[in-house]
Structure formats: structure tokens, C-alpha cells
């Protein structure tokens, strides 16, 4: 059993027969009454995020999770298709439940597929990725030396981020996947 004082972001727990991923949690000790834990949980089945409050010390069944290296093959409409590089077995995941992570993934990229109780449920991407800029406006002369200001740029995966004015089409940039911000040129 896992107690509320053992919660970690990204851990999985089972609450009332439903498996949730802990997105965020906060221990609260009010002046009066018992302590409690306020959580933000993402339902594994459909990706809905719910806020739940638990008494401190409450126990839950831990859920067995593992990751497996898979190659993203293609988008099959409502689902994304992945292939195990060792057994060549293909797995599909509903596109809407992994949309945030998939904006950083190109076809043939390797990702970690998250398995919860032997069922594929999500995709884990690196905290930073390198992608090429496919479309952006040129920086104006004089603006590039000062380094101040940003402009929108479309990356090869299709996502649009803000980049400094000196970044041009064809440049490779490093992007933080957690918040979608430009980190550096690659």
C-alpha cells in the first residue's frame, strides 16, 4: 500500500477502482482539524484531470508501471501507432489522450511508452528535444544583435513556439517539452 505521505508527481494510484496519475499534490496542515492532501489527478483511461482531497495517511493500492522503448510509426486518424523495436509488435494509443506529448514527436522517433498494469496508457518524451525550424519570419537588421524580442516559429513536428529574432529557417533549436519554451540553438 502507498500512503499520502509517499506521493510523488508522476506516480500512479488506484482510487475507487480507477487508475490515476498524480499530476500535482500539496500537503495542507490547517490550524484546526486534521491534515489533508490536496491533489490534481489525471485519469489514465481518458486523460481527464480531477481535483481530489484525501486525509493525511490514507492508503491506496500502488499500480505497477513500466516503460518500454517504442518507435512512433504513424498517425492512424484517432490513434497513434507505435512499434516495439525488439519484437516488432505494434501498439495503438488514442491520440487525444497523448496529444500534449505527441506534439514533440516525429515519425520514426523513439519514445518511452508507459505501461500501467501491462496496458499502454501514455508516452514519455525527453524533457528537451531538438527540432528544425521549418517556417519563421526573418529577423530585422539591427534586432538580432541586441537579442531582445521573440517571433513565432513553426517546428518540423508542427508545433509553433516563440524563438529569439536571430533564429532562422533551417536552424535546429532545443525546446523544453514541459513548457514549450525555446532553450537554445542546437
Contacts of 35 (CB under 8 A, 6+ apart): 27, 28, 29, 55, 56
CATH code linked to domain 2-62: 2.30.30.30
H-assigned helices in 41-133: 99-102
Does residue 140 carry a pLDDT above 70? no
Same fold yes or no, 2-62 and 128-185:
no
Give the start-to-end residue ranges of the domains of the chain. Answer: 2-62, 65-124, 128-185
pLDDT value of position 127: 79
Average pLDDT of 32-47? 84
- pLDDT tens for residues 77-91? 888 888 988 888 888
Name which of 126, 93, 99 is nearest 110 in CA terms: 126
Does residue 149 carry a pLDDT above 80? no
Q: Spelled out in words, what is the top-level CATH class assigned to the domain 128-185?
A: mainly beta
Task: Name the grid cell of 167.
Answer: 533564429
Q: Given CATH 2.40.50.140, say whether it is the number of domain 65-124.
A: yes
Amino acid at each position: 500500500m502507498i500512503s499520502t505521505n509517499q506521493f510523488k508527481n508522476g506516480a500512479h494510484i488506484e482510487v475507487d477502482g480507477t487508475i490515476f496519475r498524480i499530476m500535482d499534490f500539496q500537503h495542507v496542515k490547517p490550524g484546526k482539524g486534521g491534515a489533508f492532501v490536496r491533489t490534481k489527478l489525471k485519469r489514465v483511461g481518458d486523460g481527464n484531470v480531477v481535483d481530489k482531497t484525501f486525509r493525511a495517511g490514507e492508503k491506496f493500492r500502488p499500480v505497477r508501471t513500466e516503460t518500454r522503448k517504442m518507435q512512433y510509426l504513424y498517425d492512424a486518424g484517432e490513434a497513434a501507432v507505435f512499434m516495439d523495436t525488439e519484437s516488432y509488435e505494434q501498439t495503438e494509443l488514442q491520440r487525444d489522450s497523448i496529444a500534449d506529448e505527441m506534439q514533440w514527436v516525429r515519425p520514426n522517433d523513439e519514445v518511452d511508452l508507459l505501461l500501467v498494469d501491462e496496458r499502454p496508457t501514455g508516452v514519455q518524451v525527453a524533457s528537451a528535444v531538438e527540432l528544425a525550424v521549418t517556417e519563421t519570419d526573418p529577423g530585422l537588421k539591427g534586432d538580432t544583435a541586441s537579442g531582445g524580442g521573440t517571433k513565432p516559429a513553426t517546428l518540423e513536428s508542427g508545433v509553433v513556439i516563440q524563438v529569439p529574432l536571430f533564429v532562422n529557417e533551417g536552424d535546429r533549436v532545443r525546446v523544453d517539452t514541459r513548457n514549450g519554451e525555446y532553450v537554445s540553438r542546437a
